[in-house]
Structure 1
Amino acid sequence: MRPAVRETYGPADLSGHQIFAGGFINFGYWQAVDLGLPLTEVERIRSQEDLYRHVLNAAGLPRGADVLEVGCGLGMGCVVALREYGCTTVTGMDIHPEQVRRARGAHADLLREEPARLRFVQGAAESMPLEDGGFDAVISVEAAQHFPDLGAFATETWRVLRPGGRAAVTSFFTVDDAPGRPEELAQLLDTYAGGLDIARPVRAFADALTEAGFAHVRVESIGPHVWPGWDRWLSRWWAPGTWPRNFLRAYEQRILDYYVVTAARPGTPADT
């Protein structure tokens, strides 16, 4: 585990910060929120839930799906999948043992009530401690920007999916592979300067999925529904020009964008 990840999701515990209200840790999908009105935690939580809904919808889950979330954090999105999408099982996996511990504590009642449907495990995106072909869908919400090896993540995702299964990943990537993109982002944003986030073009991830054997790889920009709302929420604490507000600036300068990337493992369950 890289030091910046260990600190941010361990002692720093982003899930407890007010900017990530409700225990979610994502920038939010703000399409259904009126940004012209004052924002409260109600709208903030909805934005984060709606990002999960957008990804789960993009995954095209069959009824009764077995779903894996890679980088589950506190597990709030796992519960959205379980309660709203009729999943048979949901597995939340996170590299940080403290996050797994917190997730188990936050959902202790649900884990007791339905132990066969929800579980949390520790594991890295590049080396998942999970069985081959155990899932109908793999999702990941705002975690891939931390993964050191997108190719290994793609290969592991292919391995744990059943034939016919689908992957849906949302995160922020550079818009292209122009020279100097990492340096540009490091000058604008502390998360890149400090090594928490890794600057890579979205096409590199799409290509990694194709090389791993996936078909129907699709890249969708959802930046217009992420960056303005996220910046509006951040304005409660930070002035324009301070580093957290520079996410919107990086988007407006066409350096960074927010994407949903989907792909399918070829075949049908009968092929297993």
Structure 2
Amino acid sequence: MTQRSGATEHPIPPAVQETYGPADLGSTSLFGGGFINFGHWQGIDLDRPLTEADRIGSQQALYRHVLAALAPTDGLRAVEVGCGLGVGAAAALGEHGFAQVTGMDIHPQQLARAGQANADLLARHPERLRFVRGAAEEMPFGDGEFDRLYSVEAAQHFRDLGAFARETARVLRPGGRAVVASFFVPGAEPDDADPDSADPNAADPAGAGRLAELLDTFASGLDVAHTVPLLVASLERAGLTDVRVTSIGAHVWPGWDRWLSRTWEPGSWPRNFLRAFREGGLDYFTVTAERP
């Protein structure tokens, strides 16, 4: 069995360090409820003034959408890659019958907040919930340790999809399943793209420059313009099978933009997520894969 013991030393990208370090994004009205995602807004009336309950509900709905794709889950072991404040991991444990849920994050301050936010649950069920530090590209777990792996709106921060895919295949047991939900460039990768490249700039995806023009998170390096074909190729090259891609952008971007309109004016960069979607340069996907 392979055990990655040095994963906690994996470097944190500077923009990730800054964004998730000093401030607790999960405590802001922009996100709310401890979740940090754009939300799945299906079933929420966007033509009326939105409430904080709507916003929190949209974020819970995104987790439920992902966790439903992992079914069956009763009695199984799961790991969340990029768990943030751990609210989603707690929901997975409480609502989906997992025997154990491990939340993993690269950022020590986020993990400290996760411990505080879930202190009661950790005290009551120390054998069922844990939070550990590790990188998506180098996970501190043994081979075949989990039945299910999921990641909610974190993959846009990963620097090496090839390494993430290999680690996903390694830590899943045979018959295990992975679900990744995040935003990606929908277009095809250039012919010379290498899914195993550790350099996100080795092959510049079509439209990456445009995203940097529209969105500060891409310009600053917080988000990486990975293409969804690159993720699929990475998972398949790692030995995962039955890789399936579903666009859920129609349930994400209009609601996210409607929520942003409470604070940001039209034409401001956060409102450009919807613009990038409408231009065809960015979409939100769920990607599922099986470990044979």
2:74 is aligned with 1:48? no
Q: CA RMSD in A?
A: 1.0
8 Å contact kept, 1:91–1:118: yes
- 1:167 — aligned with what? 178
- 1:243 — aligned with what? 269
- 2:126 — aligned with what? 115
More moved, 246-255 vs 16-25: 16-25
Aligned positions of 1:179-190 closer than 5 A: 180-190=206-216
Partners of 2:135 and 2:277 lie apart in 1 by 29
Aligned partner (choices 237, 243, 246) of residue 217 of structure 1: 243
Partners of 2:186 and 2:145 lie apart in 1 by 33
Deviations 1:35-79 (A, max 9, x none): 112111111111000100100111223311111000000001001
2:73 is aligned with 1:65? no
Aligned positions of 1:1-272 closer than 5 A: 1-176=12-187, 177=189, 180-266=206-292
Aligned residue type for 1:73: G
Question: SS of the counterpart of 2:90?
Answer: helix
Partners of 1:195 and 1:164 lie apart in 2 by 35
Deviations 1:77-132 (A, max 9, x none): 00110111011100000000001110001111110011000000000000001111
8 Å contact kept, 1:61–1:136: no
- 2:3 — aligned with what? none
Aligned residue type for 2:112: R
- 2:7 — aligned with what? none
Aligned residue type for 2:158: F
Partners of 1:169 and 1:104 lie apart in 2 by 24
Partners of 2:206 and 2:174 lie apart in 1 by 39
Question: SS of the counterpart of 1:218?
Answer: strand
How many residue pairs get aligned? The number is: 266
Post-superposition offset of 1:12: 2.9
Aligned residue type for 1:55: V
Partners of 1:155 and 1:231 lie apart in 2 by 35
8 Å contact kept, 1:61–1:137: no
Aligned residue type for 2:248: I
Aligned residue type for 1:95: I
8 Å contact kept, 1:30–1:50: yes
Partners of 2:39 and 2:138 lie apart in 1 by 28
Question: SS of the counterpart of 2:151?
Answer: strand
Aligned residue type for 1:189: L
Question: SS of the counterpart of 2:288?
Answer: strand
Post-superposition offset of 1:180: 4.5
Partners of 1:62 and 1:130 lie apart in 2 by 20
Task: Give TM-score, length-normalised by structure 2.
Answer: 0.89
- 1:269 — aligned with what? none
5+ residue gaps, structure 1, are 267-272
- 2:196 — aligned with what? none
More moved, 244-253 vs 59-68: 59-68
Aligned residue type for 1:207: A
- 2:6 — aligned with what? none
Partners of 1:161 and 1:137 lie apart in 2 by 7
User: Which 4+ runs in 1 deviate beyond 3 A?
Assistant: 177-180
Partners of 1:111 and 1:192 lie apart in 2 by 36
Aligned residue type for 1:102: R
Post-superposition offset of 1:134: 1.1
Aligned residue type for 2:180: V
Richer in helix (by share) = 1
